[in-house]
Amino acid sequence: MKVRITVNGVLHEHDVEPRTLLAYFLREQCGLTGTHVGCDTSSCGCCVVVLDDEKAVKSCSMFAVQADGHQVLTVEGLAQGGALHPIQQGFWDQHGLQCGYCTPGMMLTSYVLLKHNANPSEAQIREGLAGNLCRCTGYQNIVKAVQQAAQTGVTSQEAAVRS
Amino acid sequence: MSIEAKPGKSLGVAMKRKEDPRFIQGKGHYVDDISLPGMLYMAIVRSPYPHATITSIDISEAIKVSGVKAVITGKDLEAAGLGWLPTFHGLDKQMVLAIGKVLFQYQEVAAVYAESRGAAADGAEVVQVDYDPLPVVADPFTAKKDETILRPDREAKTNHIYHWQVGDKDGTARALDGSAKKVKQRIWFQRCHPAPLEPCGCVAEFDKMGRLQFHVTSQAPHVYRTALSLVTGIPEDKIHVISPDIGGGFGNKVPVYAGYVCAVVGALKLGRPVKWIETRTENLTSTGFARDYHMDVELGATADGKLTALRVSTAADHGAFDAAADPTKYPAGMFGVVTGSYQFPVAFAEVDAYFTNKAPGGIAYRCSFRVTEASYGIERAMDILADELGMDAAELRRKNFVKKEQFPYASALGFTYDSGDYHQALEKALDKIGYPALLKEQAEKRGRGELMGIGISTFTEVVGAGPSKHFDILGIKMFDSAEVRIHPTGAGIVRAGTKSQGQGHETTWAQIVAEELGLDPQTIMVEEGDTDTAPYGLGTYASRSTPVAGAAIATAARRVREKAKKIAAHLLEVGEADVEWKDYNFQVKGVPTKSVTMKEVAFAAYTNPGPNEPGLEATNYYDPPNMTFPFGAYIAVVDVDRETGEVKVRRFLALDDCGTVINPLVVEGQIHGGLTEGFAIAFMQEIQYDAQGNNLNTNFTDYLLPTSLETPHWETANTVTPSPHHPLGAKGVGESPNVGSPAAFVNAVIDALSPLGIRHIDMPVTRDKVWRAIRDAEARREK
């Protein structure tokens, strides 16, 4: 069946099997391989994307047909106008990644976290990221990365894009 | 805090990682991101039984499924001479697809090739396999009885795989008999699994020239190439192995798995590329597990706590095939480091390994071969001895440490420790955590019946395999290699036989070259994982990258510098003997104003080399003279809830000494990650099998990885004791935190419970086990 999903501002219209997961729609039909799959049980969060600029969803737990008509933000859509998003900058500056596999999902969960709480405490960040597993960093530098992003603010990227 | 890199001083700089921009923008290139025209997908049919005769396999329904192109079974592979795969040390072989019977649950039985991921899974679903169940052997102690022989295909009709021993057996027995104090404890290091977030997988393609292009999640691409050539008979020049970005390895991506062989066979048979990406369940149930060592540890000491002897007897559960990834001559790996950081007049260690109806493996999960088991065994036993002696755990360690002036130190079990300062490390760690205040607090809390524990682990690792006189895999000596090439503009490339899986080689290897040559690390590209371009190397595992390949890179860079010096002499119009390398430039001795930069020399190497051979490059194959011995002092502080058994890790201090530090940011990151994996092993993780051989931890809802919520806040510190034999003095660090931390956690919990008379709990130390131990102890006291 046909679905129309706007991914990172671009409309993607494809025929899909009804059982196609959103994660594989993004990876194999849109060619956006930054969304990763790390488990079969919605446990790891490597596949998290943002739905309608509002919700962090595990795209392995959603059918592509359920996203029909919706807006999806993936890691490929975070940087704007050649400027890294403050969350991306935070992960880089604070050594918030090692193998990079969990990173896209981790950043997109952080994106939604900061959208709902611009100034979270460490405890709130740790609670907000508890659905995303990381095997390399021990989370400490990820927390710092999110704190840096909160401090520099999402507006800095907007400023960079405008200038 | 990280800093931007610049030319000049590069070693020891907390430089931001060069590989990160692609990862944070979703531009990482992992194996499942590869999509080739005409590519097929493969799915594997697996056994639901741990031990059974296969009475029939019917593929007729499967090949009717829309999109399915072919199904192969073990008999097909056997007919093609590909039925069995040699294990890494070459001492056993394992079935690629089951032939005649299955030996563990989830064993590979058939491979299905189809046009899509979904069609392959649909086909696998309807392959009909009939089984006749056989008696199950689910532990090494049952295996030892040899009532059911699991491997009648082998010459020796026994489940016993090998006996390995080291040390003075009789002398140790005598010393133990004569010791004023003795302790003995059965300590089980449970079966666990590295579980990198990216599962294993591959894409196999025969290109238009008939050459195998094999993209695979491999920590050791060159070894894969050789192994594939030996197994399939494809000439090695017709195999190109490429390891793209790898989403974590931790030892899990060292062995060659059955799925890889099936993908290659499918690509050959069907003339189309074949992709195989395992599911998480397949990863946890069939690829390399770690540990599963049942250790009887005995310590002898004088009445005042001077160690007199160590004896360790181990039963190792290797599963259905002896696929432990150990060097050929070391079936129990580096288990001989079980004497730890201490002086033992005499010691003896032995390991007996057995086949069971469980998944094969025994890989080094974030540790040098069997070092974690050894470290955990000795560090737990030291605490049990301290308790028996009524002695402070720090004091017992202090009293028995190898002293700084004793290095290089010949251990009782045959290693020569390169360097160390264990006293300094422990004192600094105790000072940082405020040990006296913690002891005071603990005494007060104990007075109120509260359970607070302090756990110490002062471990020594042995990494950097290894010297070629001792170490090989499939006969290939465990050297590593590097090629350094400097371009006319002073940019360059370094290629190595290692393969980063998150360790940051693209940054740290560039830092080494930049430091040695006075160049900008940002313009030194690092390439690994491509067997067509990189010099032959044994790969990245067992903390061997920096000790071995790091040394190769430094040596190759120094060779480039020697060559550059000749060109510099030509440019400076003096004899080579009058040129010196100083402040990252070539200078005329005594005339600092008369100098040329490496960048100028690089340009001249291609434009004006004078009497010298043009070009500026060098290669080195580095055969380490010895292993390196990183060490550390870790301290955990826990509170245990007496009512629920819940353990709260309140503080954790990790002091590490890995010799010279190349990039402190990367080292700290590795320590955080390793501690988190150690925390998981201590408190959460086990691949459990029931008595019928059923795997009970087949996905992340049952095999737990810590989240950001449970993970403690890590405090780190360091001392620097360089390795005397490594060109940079570096020792390797990635695995130390995973090796050293489990004992610190468990020692802390047992210390908290010691007022109740509890002496040991096997990992994972779950709330349930703690609660039961408290309940039983209290019941005993009431009697």
pLDDT in tens, B223-249: 999 999 988 899 999 999 999 999 999
Identity of the residue in B502, B665, B713 whose CB atom sits nearest the CB atom of A136: B502
Q: Please answer whether residues B211 and B531 qualify as being in contact, where contact means their C-beta atoms are separated by less than 8 angstroms.
A: no
Is a pLDDT exceeding 90 seen at residue A162? no
Q: Please answer whether residues B645 and B769 qualify as being in contact, where contact means their C-beta atoms are separated by less than 8 angstroms.
A: yes
Is a pLDDT exceeding 90 seen at residue B90? no
Look at residue B467 in the predicted model and tell me its pLDDT.
Answer: 92
Identity of the residue in A37, A75, A133 whose CB atom sits nearest the CB atom of B705: A133
DSSP 8-state assignment for residue A65: G
pLDDT in tens, A118-133: 999 999 999 999 999 9
Look at residue A163 in the predicted model and tell me its pLDDT.
Answer: 47
pLDDT in tens, B188-226: 999 999 999 999 999 999 999 999 999 999 999 999 999
- Residue to substitute from A17, A20, A32, A95, interface B, most B β-carbons within 10 A: A95
pLDDT in tens, B729-748: 999 999 999 999 999 999 99
pLDDT in tens, B377-411: 999 999 999 999 999 999 999 999 999 999 999 99
Q: Does any CB of chain B come closer than 8 Å to the CB of residue A4?
A: no
Is a pLDDT exceeding 80 seen at residue B305? yes
Torsion of CA B60, B66, B69, B71, to 10 degrees: -40
pLDDT in tens, B551-575: 999 999 999 999 999 999 999 999 9
> What span, in angstroms and rounded, lies between the C-alpha atoms of B349 and B336?
7
Look at residue A160 in the predicted model and tell me its pLDDT.
Answer: 55
Q: How far is CA B626 from CA B196, B421, B463, B465, in A?
A: 30, 18, 9, 8
The stretches of B664-782 forming alpha helices (DSSP H) are 664-683, 736-753, 767-782
CA–chain centroid gap for A127, Å, is 17
pLDDT in tens, B639-687: 999 999 999 999 999 999 999 999 999 999 999 999 999 999 999 999 9
Contact B248 A99 (CB under 8 A): yes
Look at residue B708 in the predicted model and tell me its pLDDT.
Answer: 98
Q: Which residues of B touch A8 (CB under 8 A)?
A: none
In angstroms, the separation between the Cα of residue A69 and the nearest Cα of chain B is: 24
Taking residues B618-622, report their average pLDDT: 97
Identity of the residue in B670, B709, B713 whose CB atom sits nearest the CB atom of A127: B709
Residue of B nearest to A140 (CA): B713
Q: Where in chain A is the domain with CATH 3.10.20.30?
A: 2-77
Percentage above 70 pLDDT, chain B: 99
Contact A41 B707 (CB under 8 A): no
> What span, in angstroms and rounded, lies between the C-alpha atoms of B373 and B324?
14
Look at residue B41 in the predicted model and tell me its pLDDT.
Answer: 98
Could you confirm whether domain A2-77 is CATH 3.10.20.30?
A: yes
Set out the domains of chain B in order of their start, with CATH numbers. Answer: 20-28+480-622 (3.30.365.10), 34-134+198-247+253-286 (3.90.1170.50), 289-407+416-464+626-782 (3.30.365.10)
Look at residue A74 in the predicted model and tell me its pLDDT.
Answer: 98
Is a pLDDT exceeding 90 seen at residue B345? yes
Is a pLDDT exceeding 70 seen at residue B6? no
- Scan residues 15-74 of A and list those with Cβ closer than 8 Å to B: 17, 19, 24, 27-28, 32-41, 43-44, 46, 74
Look at residue B474 in the predicted model and tell me its pLDDT.
Answer: 81
Could you confirm whether domain A86-156 is CATH 3.30.465.10?
A: no
Is a pLDDT exceeding 60 seen at residue B171? yes
Is a pLDDT exceeding 80 seen at residue A157? no
Taking residues B416-420, report their average pLDDT: 98
> What span, in angstroms and rounded, lies between the C-alpha atoms of B698 and B48?
12
Q: How confident is the model at residue B488 (pLDDT cuts 50, 70, 90)?
A: very high
Q: Which residues of B touch A95 (CB under 8 A)?
A: 2, 16-17, 665-666, 668-669
Q: Where in chain A is the domain with CATH 1.10.150.120?
A: 86-156
